[in-house]
Amino acid sequence: MTDLTRLTACETVELLARSAVSPLELVDAALARIAEVDPRLNALPTLCAEQAREQARALMARPRRADDGAAGLHGLPIAVKDNNEVAGVRCTMGSRVFADRIAQTSDLIVERLQARGAIVLAKSNLPEFAAGGTTTNEVFGTTVNPWRTDVTCGGSSGGSAAALASGQVWLATGNDFAGSIRIPSAFCGTVGLRPTPGTVARIQRQPYSPLSVEGPMARTVADCALMLDCEAGPLADDPLSRPAPAQRYLSAARAPQLPPRLAFSADLGVAPVIDPEVAALCRTAAERLQGPGVRVELAQPDLHDALQVFPVLRGHIYVGRLASIMDAHRDRMTAPVIWNVEAGLRCGMRELVDAEIAQAALARRVLRFFDRHDLLLCPVALTPPFDARAPHLQSLRGVEFDFYFHWMIMTWAITLTGCPALSLPCAITADGLPVGLQLVGPPGSEHRLFAAASAMEQIYGLASRVPRDPLDPPGHVPLDLLRPGPLGAGLRQP
């Protein structure tokens, strides 16, 4: 690993702004790191090296402009998740349906980051159509975890998190529905934010849905805030989008401060089971924050009906996104994706309307909870990273999960609230795997989250653990043996 790839995004951008390093040098440094470690991880299966070099040369030849600004990235190479289109680059969605598709245009989030000086270097791996909490598909195979290459990196933004954790890029895009930013960030020891819906504008087929959002993924809290500064802002075509704030998110991350009223819950009152080590480590991490002016209380909002509400609303989104694709290409889609769409098609109108009404009541209860607490802390996941060969977690400590994404309940229960949530490394298990703490605030509280997360990052002292060289355990199974066969075992209808 070179000195450049070890640097944080903020440190690297400062060098770029002073012309102490060039975008082309960074592209070459990142490509060398990718060549060194990605054959063992499979995080970045599609490279766009020549396009990146062209962008780097163009940025270097362009005179500095006044609107480049302090919030710009000045030529920083990034990875883009393979469900975000980049013009001229392969975009598979992790599906055989689109295995050979070349994007004709770029997604809004890509255009916005490029306008701020980002250079797209690679596409990061994901499960088919981002449907899952692990990262495996029939186009590129399985992505594994740099902390230990026999366990999963999480999903669906798993390629982004694994690439960050192994020093292949400095920033990466992610999107989050049921936990797709937060879970891989927790499993890979990196930082990821699910922002308040509308903070990062996006164009969706169902434009009024607040369940799925774009968000930043990075190695440190400050890097995450820097990326959100470059992503945030309004869009006329997104009715949920909001103006960028007057105060930069990075300024909040650079002013660490814990709020006085913290709540902690190990299971949010809805998890059917949790690994006792994860629960204990997260509770200890929360207790470490207590001190003069800071009180940590065991408390949680009322999320009792999340288990009934989320699968219905999730099915509705999957019908809108994928039903027409399934009609035309069912034979090239895997069982989990088909299952998701068909679950949505089985829902009746009354069931959908009841779920929407229940979600609104749940969100109002959470808002009242934040009248009494500044932040809610809880584990990101019920378990540490598990076997990379498992497409999902079927059971934990003898408890069977009712359906394949049930184990992700700690994140998708929060999705229902409309609140921003940040995944922060807080501890390491006895087996040497990272554990993530989820920080949740009321809608629009991203500045509060970044200030608190920055303070916690200093207390926990884990930011220096990434980037890291991939660790192969004894009896390591080569990555090509992890290429997936038929997916979908153990699917059950919620």
Look up residue 237 and give its two tokens: 């075509």
> Cα–Cα distances in Å, from 306 out to 66, 131, 148, 303?
48, 19, 33, 6
Apex CA 156: angle with CA 81 and CA 366, to 5°? 115
Torsions phi, psi of 188, nearest 5? -105, 5
Q: Give the Cα separation of 344 and 315 in Å (integer).
A: 4
Q: Which residues lie across from 212 on neighbouring strands?
A: none
Listing DSSP states for 212-262 in one string gives -EEEEEESSHHHHHHHHHHH-B--TT-TT--PPPSS-HHHHHTS----SEE
Which of 81, 124, 157, 454 is catalytic? The answer is 81
Using alpha carbons only, give the angle 221, 209, 245 rounded to the nearest 5 degrees.
Answer: 40
How far, in Å, are 5, 45, 165, 262 from residue 23 at the CA level?
Answer: 13, 22, 21, 42
| Active-site residue, selected from the candidate residues 106, 156, 166, 454 | 156
Q: Does 81 participate in catalysis according to the annotation?
A: yes
72 within 8 A of 116, measured Cβ to Cβ = yes
Contact of 214 with 173, CB cutoff 8 Å = yes
Q: Is 123 tagged catalytic?
A: no
Cβ within 8 Å of residue 12, ≥6 positions away: 4, 21, 26, 76, 170
Q: Which of 124, 160, 166, 180 is catalytic?
A: 180
User: Does the annotation count 22 as an active-site position?
Assistant: no
Q: Which positions are annotated as active-site residues?
A: 81, 156, 180
